[in-house]
Amino acid sequence: MVLDDIDKKILRLLQENAHYTLKDIANKINLSLTPVHDRVKRLEKEGVIEKYVSILNKKKLGNNLTVYCQVTLTKQTYDTSEGFNQAILEMPEVVECNYVSGNFDYMLKIIIPDMESYHHFHQKKLSTLPEVSLINTVFVISEVKSTTVLPI
């Protein structure tokens, strides 16, 4: 699973735009269709390319508020963590959830219509989880950067 320079070029292009055709890519990297096709299929099979997704505009969907929630659990046990994790996976407004080091246990990123929805989410969905002890909210005032492009 070693990536050579051609693989990396292909990945950089596909990260930018999943709708580039094989021909587009072939032209951009000066190859014929065959090797581009073979490499893309190999990268998919190996799991380097996980999936192709559409990025939607959150504001146009009515999601005008982004917040980070710093969550502390009641206990640090495996069962508590697992219970929390499962609950989070069911919540569509939680787009990111990481178990972290520091003064709290989890860092969550929430995308939601407005402050009222957030109030509801906070009071009725998150703080009511039996595993949750403390929530500290950090409000996003302005988005500077948000990309799915990973450094290659």
Partner DNA sequence: CTTCAAACAGAAAATATTTCTGTAAAAGTA
Partner DNA sequence: TACTTTTACAGAAATATTTTCTGTTTGAAG
Among 25, 97, 126, 132, binds a copy of itself (CB under 8 A): 97
| Residue 61 binds: one of DNA, a copy of itself, none (C-beta under 5 to 8 A by kind) | a copy of itself
Q: Are 63 and 100 in contact (CB under 8 A)?
A: no
Assess 58 for contact with a copy of itself (CB under 8 A): yes
Bridge partner list, 108 = 69, 97
* Stretch in the footprint of a copy of itself (CB under 8 A) among 28-36, 72-80, 81-89, 123-131: 81-89
Type of residue at 106: Y
Residue 24: enclosing H or E segment and its boundaries? Answer: helix 22-29
* Residue corresponding to tokens 């219970």: 83
Answer yes or no: are the C-beta atoms of 114 and 70 closer than 8 Å: no
Q: Does 27 help bind DNA (rule: CB under 7 A)?
A: no
Is 115 a binder of DNA (CB under 7 A)?
Answer: no
- Where in 106-145 is the site for a copy of itself (CB under 8 A)? 106-107, 111-112, 138-145
